[in-house]
Structure 1
Amino acid sequence: MSNITIQDLYDLNETIAAELFDGLTYPWEALPKIGEFIKKLGAALDPEEYDKVGEDVWIAKSANVFPSAYIHGPAIIGKEAEVRHCAFIRGNALVGEGAVVGNSTELKNVVLFNKVQVPHYNYVGDSILGYKAHMGAGSITSNVKSDKHLVKVHTPEGDIETGIKKFGAMIGDNVEVGCGSVLNPGTVIGRQSNIYPLSSVRGVVPAHSIYKKQGEVVKKHED
């Protein structure tokens, strides 16, 4: 099977949400569990390091949250994270240490690992972004199929039924998504891959690849 398991995509040392993935094989299996996990984890956070600022909302004292940002619980904003002007965090959102949530960016039911950047009017819903993943300006995760059917992950070996209606993208560590790209429901992008700007992506993009357009994906050259 394509390399799309949790172990294939993510370094669990780079998130405080590692326990969320215990006993799971594929990362999207964690999507229905995010909200309750945040509530449990938030209640156990060190009050010397995190402030509880609302119902099920915890913000690290070292984080920089702009006054115009909106944060609805359950949510955790990690250490040294930055939540910029008019960010819209709708709940069930865990923002990792050193992550950037930018102007007019909207988050919903997501885990952002440490150092993730979604810095300029991005929509990220029902998705998990690995360590140092970066979404270019205006790139989004589309999380519901137009026919409203349950999402399948299209792999070279065949489709995987997820049983989930809302499923955006599983983005591996150190992935670069180009500006203006749309990641269609059920997209999985392997570690260290690059997505060209203005791409429409679906299915599985292998690790260490460059996605130029549908049907044109090339392996990166080794340095």
Structure 2
Amino acid sequence: MIASDVITLPETLEHFAKWFSPDDAPWAWIPRIEEALSKFSWLLAQGHSAIPAGMHIKGKVYIHPTVKLPPTAVIEGPTWIGPGTEIRPNAYIRGKVIIGANCVIGNSCELKNCLVLDGAQVPHFNYVGDSVLGQGAHLGAGVILANLRLDQASVPVRLPSGTVDSGLRKFGAIFGDHAEAGCNAVIQPGTILGRKAIVMPSMSFGGYLPDGKMVYAKTETRIIDRRF
């Protein structure tokens, strides 16, 4: 599997494109997030000029001038937040985070070491760590992307062709473009959802879900028609 099978890096993030090759495994993008941010020309960037008094910002943080900011939140660097994105109250962005254009980072959500592509929505009480969310991906309220095995061993990736060692001790999930998980779903480490794939609410799901399929019970999937 290569990254272009499930996700497309948007033009709004083209200045980071050299670190996120479409021909690499999608999980290979995760450890490159920090390096990509370390090469960004922070001093040349124009940041947001109206930071609310209740926001705590630490380290190298770039916030596009059009980002909608809440009265309270914590953003730690290195972090890059693109145009038109909305950050909601009490969000906690822990660093090594790239957020594209027109995203939603909602109330009481926590993000660390992740890549959130254009139009993705992380709106209510979510945890996203060591993960990639494709364009238009959506998490229902309370969705958790678990990123660490209980035995803390390297996270395997279960694909139709066989199991692959990701080589990553911390690896949450790859959500393909327009993939979704319903409210209170728990996504297990190393999960990959194809484009427009759906995990129904309150499920614990791990492994690989192909493009356009919905999992609504542990052993059943069905093809769905997604219209955008």
Q: Does 1:211 align with 2:215?
A: yes
| Aligned-pair CA distance for 1:215 | 1.7
Contact 1:14–1:114 (8 Å) recurs in 2: no
Report % sequence identity. 38
Unaligned 5+ segments in structure 1 are none
1:49-198 → structure 2 map (5 Å cutoff)? 50-51=47-48, 54-198=58-202
Aligned residue-pair number: 218
Report the TM-score when normalising by structure 2.
0.89
CA distance in structure 1 between the aligned counterparts of 2:152 and 2:120, rounded to whole angstroms = 29
- Cα gap change, 1:23 to 1:181, in 2 (>3 Å): closer
Unaligned 5+ segments in structure 2 are 50-56
Contact 2:19–2:32 (8 Å) recurs in 1: yes
CA distance in structure 2 between the aligned counterparts of 1:198 and 1:6, rounded to whole angstroms = 28
RMSD: 1.9
Q: Which amino acid aligns with 1:99?
A: C
CA distance in structure 2 between the aligned counterparts of 1:222 and 1:108, rounded to whole angstroms = 29
CA distance in structure 2 between the aligned counterparts of 1:189 and 1:42, rounded to whole angstroms = 33
| Aligned-pair CA distance for 1:24 | 5.1
CA distance in structure 1 between the aligned counterparts of 2:104 and 2:135, rounded to whole angstroms = 12
- Map Cα deviations across residues 167-205 of structure 1 (whole Å, 9 max, x no partner): 000000011210000110000000011111011111100
Q: Which residue of 1 aligns with 2:32?
A: 33
Contact 1:42–1:76 (8 Å) recurs in 2: no
| Aligned-pair CA distance for 1:87 | 0.2
Of the structure 1 ranges 19-28 and 83-92, higher mean CA displacement relative to structure 2 is found in: 19-28
CA distance in structure 2 between the aligned counterparts of 1:102 and 1:189, rounded to whole angstroms = 22
| Aligned-pair CA distance for 1:15 | 4.7
Q: Which amino acid aligns with 1:39?
A: S
Q: Which residue of 2 aligns with 1:11?
A: 8
CA distance in structure 2 between the aligned counterparts of 1:169 and 1:44, rounded to whole angstroms = 32
- Cα gap change, 1:54 to 1:207, in 2 (>3 Å): same
